[in-house]
Amino acid sequence: MAGQLEGKKIAFLVADGFEQIELTRSRQDITEAGAQVHLVSLQSGEVQGMRGDIDKADTFTVDEIVDEVSASDYNGLVLPGGTLNPDGLRVNDKAVDFVRDFFKQHKPVAAICHAPITLIEAGVVDGRTLTSFPSIKTDLKNAGANWVDQAVVCDEGLVTSRTPDDLDAFCAKAIEEFAEGRHAEQTA
């Protein structure tokens, strides 16, 4: 995977309460593949990671705030999960617009665990096949998605996975899609 993403810039969008391993592992793999990564959040400073949605883990320094960046600045987007994180993102208009713009620009997006909640708010799951943490299956179906129970699903540049147990497959498929670049069928 080394060098596969040379020259690519990938955004990781999070709010407080993200599942830490879903950020750290995917960021490590994507960085090792050669990409430059930016941690984007709702405000400057630090964001709080969690272990299993219960225990506070580490804090991470924000590189960019969502109000000051654009999807056009990046080649792809990663949305780590956790239950609090996507809930914080989906009520922020700038964050939702940022996510939607990746789809409008046909750029790959990778979302794991509860992160597809933000995709629902962005209006980009109707007619798409994806997976997620099982507790949001009904939410995704009600938004028009075809939900399947698989470790990783790729639908025209949209990569989704269920839990941290799926990180091997998630990271590999996300890197592959980021390397491929734009997907004509990746639309909002």
Q: Which residues are catalytic, by number?
A: 113
Query: If DSSP codes are grouped into helix, strand and coil, which group holds residue 158?
Result: strand
- CA separation for the pair 134, 24 (Å, rounded): 22
Phi first, then psi, for residue 24 (nearest 5°) are: -65, -45
User: Checking DSSP bridges between strand 158-161 and strand 152-155, what pairing results, if any?
Assistant: antiparallel
- CA separation for the pair 94, 100 (Å, rounded): 10
- CA separation for the pair 101, 153 (Å, rounded): 21
Query: Are 165 and 82 in contact, with CB atoms under 8 Å apart?
Result: no
